[in-house]
Structure 1
């Protein structure tokens, strides 16, 4: 199989472009986050004014809306620009994946570098969808930090030159099993990060640490964060379950058994159990949302352990990271 070096080079350029755009978006989103406290106070003032004044608001497209656009704060303008840059970076991120696949004429999930690219694309794409449903734009900073870190690690420690799949991965199951798993992982990553922010919003005002108290004042209400986390987990967990089942079917076809307690299989199962415990705790009366959030964060730690420690340190039947 010949490698198209031109497409591979454009794929690497798309990766670099996505990384740079994400960094710029994160910088701008920091200003949006910093201005979120002021926006909270302004919204409270507006709500109070509306309770005293029953004058109807201007209809969409009227001068009132134009005036509102003209009076946007610098922080809000930075936040909107950050979202636009996230969408552009997402496009380059996806382009890098597609070009890698076209250059190698295979499904672009054959090593850990490509897995990281796909995971970041799912995370950013998922966040763009979340922002259309919930007022969480100011939290873009927290979403982009792990994405940028993972892309940096991917370029510096995970990079693998475009190459054909190794024989063990030459199966249609790679397009099913790995794609479903990485999609679920990106969604669950967002869910767990939001649970962490929920805890800060819930407990931060009473924290003895000034930085935590300050951060909690910048976050949306804990109720919004809890809803985002819960609903993202509801979406991600069934996908993750399907991915694990597909992996077992592929293992039976490739190795003659559905389950062999390989390190990656074992840790993936542990993560599945913890996410199931989180959903069970949310459905059980008497369980505090705070304790459930800690379970979700524990699941994130297991996922990160599986991504980094298992792939970099431990050898097993799933050692296809392209790091050796």
Structure 2
């Protein structure tokens, strides 16, 4: 069965569209990072907003009491609410919010491109290195967005989106392959099991690697500060080394068992396809390391 060229072209268009939107997201995250909108500042902003919400509730209650007093013949008192003093978002925070929205949109485009690629060939969309790179970039974005629903990761966005753009750029310029059927050696259920596990692990490892790299930089800065407050660009942009270490550990603790399974599944697939469990080729060796 030949590939559906219309769906293949649709997939290419969705991939290029995602790259354009990811580029906009990258710029937004870079502006947010440059503006110093780090985790610590956002925690303060959240606390401030919580305080404002409480103040608005008190003011509204006061206004209701005053109105009740006026209707009973008492003296009416006009109470000014906090909404009259709402301040605009700082540029860095606004840029981070825009970047996050663009990343959701770009990931939707990339998901559509990956699905269309699979439908065009009537198989799973990771049958060659081009498709694997697209799927790995998608997994990286999904992992980042999933974590961002529970905590603020705008400080990390510029590094993760940068990695996604590099992966997609290499895919479309170096690894691109026309949509086609699988070679006989790849027609196995283990293609779904082994490669899907590797794709998920690749996405989580990318996010974890970015966090770990920032941890090393932040930890060195804290050791140089020798107990005093960290100054410079790290002070307002990146969480403490302890928080970064905890986050990186949790990501890797989640993904390590899955990666172990992916290596074992790959060995089983190799035995089914080529009659040996291990051949010490570069992919096998680095996966083991």
Provide TM-score, normalisation by structure 2.
Answer: 0.81
Q: Which residue of 2 aligns with 1:259?
A: 278
2:9 paired residue number: 9
From the superposition, tell whether residues 116 and 191 of structure 1 become closer, same or farther in structure 2 (CA, over 3 Å): same
Give the C-alpha shift of residue 213 in structure 1: 6.8
**Contact 1:32 1:138 (C-alpha < 8 Å) held by counterparts:** yes
Q: Give yes or no for contact 2:37–2:92 (8 Å, CA) kept in 1.
A: no
Q: Which segments of 5 or more consecutive residues in structure 1 lack a partner in the other structure?
A: 271-324
Report what 1:81 is aligned to: 98
1:172 lines up with 2:189 in the alignment: yes
User: Any residues of structure 2 matched to 1:190-201 within 5 Å, and which?
Assistant: 190-201=207-218
The structure-2 alpha-carbon separation of the partners of 1:36 and 1:132, relative to structure 1 and needing over 3 Å to count, comes to farther
Matched, 1:149 2:166: yes
Aligned partner of 2:116 among 91, 99, 118: 99
More RCO (CA 8 Å, sep 6+): 2
Query: Is the aligned partner of 1:232 residue 2:251?
Result: yes
Q: RMSD in angstroms over aligned alpha carbons?
A: 2.9
Write the mapping of 1:48-127 to structure 2, written as runs, cut at 5 A. Answer: 56-58=54-56, 71-127=88-144
Deviation at 1:21, TM superposition (A): 0.5
1:305 corresponds in structure 2 to none
Secondary structure class of the residue paired with 2:125: coil
Asked if structure 1 preserves the Cα contact closer than 8 Å seen for 2:195 and 2:262, the reply is yes
Structure with higher Rg: it is: 2
Q: Residue 68 of structure 2 aligns with which residue?
A: none
Distance in 1 between residues matched to 2:153 and 2:115, nearest whole Å? 30
Q: Distance between the aligned counterparts of 2:113 and 2:41, measured in 1?
A: 42
Residue 264 to residue 254, structure 1, CA distance change in 2 (3 Å)? same
Taking structure 1 as the reference length, what is the TM-score of the superposition?
0.73
Following the alignment from structure 1 to structure 2, what is the Cα–Cα distance between the partners of residues 38 and 185? 26
Instruction: Give 1:2 deviation, angstroms.
Output: 1.7
Distance 1:91 1:159 in 2: 21
